[in-house]
Amino acid sequence: MEFWHFSEQSMHPSWSAIEGPTKVTVDNRHCDPVVAHELYNRYLDEWMVADRLGYNIFVNEHHASANCLSASCLLTLAILAVAYVAILWWELRSPRLPEPKAKPAPPAFTVRDHLRNSWNLVFGGRGWSYTAGAVALGVLSIAAYNLQSPLGVTGGLALWADNAARVVDAGGLPLKGADLLAGCSSAAAGAEWLTIRTTTMTGLVMGAFTASVLSGEFKVRFSRNIARYPQLILGGAAMGYASVLAVGCTIGAFFSSIPSLALAGWLYTIALAAGAFIGVQVIRRLP
């Protein structure tokens, strides 16, 4: 048995204004182009959903009719074919081997068995899904924002770097003009080594390290290409300098800024995407 999805793609919002038959003699003034555009995209989306659910797709055509927005099956099939090829290219542009199926958890009969299975489910080396990770980060970000300040590492790093530079009388904080920026997270000059920003920074770094170790994804790697080491040093220095100028990094100025409804977060995102694109092009040309 096969199942098919069929839609007439009707221009139903115009039906009430049409006097008489809805075919052949319908005046064009009853077709609002904006509404027709929205409906046509909706019908295409419905076909995409039907295809993902395993249904066959049935397309049809009617001419000069308010019952069907499709005047040519070939046009509809061409749109679906282009969408299929585009999605197929996107999914296969980076070939990936199929993930091995996880072994089923052993049956639990005692409290210890249940606790062991729960631990393995979270930290068993398979890693979290993107959805689970996004939910966990979202909850953590909301908690940090309400308790003290948004998550971030730039303020803490800037403070430690400035305190170290003050040993040789070369401190640079506070940044000129930082007091004019509303909500600026830049560290203040002469602050203690242990503050809410430095402890947050330390917790984020140690938490990321602990999660990578428990999930089995942590690995120390050394490049055999000697040219990579000065590149890494220069790249790290450039990232640190730029994050202080931007008053935030991918955590504070992106992940924490956008949920806080800050316009700066969206501007940072645009600049980040452009910089990442340029950086990739440069890296591809390095020895």
pLDDT tens-digit map of 256-270? 777 766 777 888 888
Per-residue confidence at 3, pLDDT binned at 50, 70, 90?
confident
pTM of the model as a whole: 0.47
Share of the chain above pLDDT 90, in %: 0
Mean pLDDT over each residue of the chain, to the nearest integer = 76
Please tell me the predicted confidence (pLDDT) of residue 117. 78
Please tell me the predicted confidence (pLDDT) of residue 43. 83
What's the CA gap between 121 and 132, in Å, rounded?
12
Identity of the highest mean pLDDT range in 74-88, 175-189, 217-231: 217-231
Res 230 pLDDT > 60 = yes
Lowest mean pLDDT among 68-72, 176-180, 251-255: 176-180
Per-residue confidence at 156, pLDDT binned at 50, 70, 90?
confident
| DSSP labels, the chain | ---EEE-----GGGGGG--S-SBSS--GGG--HHHHHHHHHHHHHHHHHHHHTT-EEE----SSBSS-S-S-HHHHHHHHHHHHHHHHHHHHSS--PPPPPPPPPPPP-SHHHHHHHHHHHHHSSS---HHHHHHHHHHHHHHHHHHT----SHHHHHHHHHHHHHTTT---PSPTTGGGSTT--PPPTT--SS-HHHHHHHHHHHHHHHHHHHTT-------S-TTHHHHHHHHHHHHHHHHHHTT--IIIIIITTTTTT-HHHHHHHHHHHHHHHHHHHHHHT--
Q: Compute the average pLDDT of residues 215-227.
A: 80
| Domain spans of the chain, in order of start | 4-92, 125-284
The number of CA neighbours under 13 Å toward the Cβ of 89 is 6
Res 23 pLDDT > 70 = no
Res 182 pLDDT > 60 = no
Q: Compute the average pLDDT of residues 105-112.
A: 79
Please tell me the predicted confidence (pLDDT) of residue 6. 78
Please tell me the predicted confidence (pLDDT) of residue 187. 52
Instruction: Give the contacts of 172 (CB within 8 A, at least 6 positions apart).
Output: 162, 165
Burial of residue 47 (CB within 10 Å: 0-12, 13-18, 19+) is buried
Res 127 pLDDT > 70 = no
Identity of the highest mean pLDDT range in 39-48, 179-188, 212-221: 39-48
Res 97 pLDDT > 70 = no
- Residue whose entry in the numeric block shows the structure tokens 């939910």: 135
Please tell me the predicted confidence (pLDDT) of residue 95. 61
Q: Compute the average pLDDT of residues 99-121.
A: 74
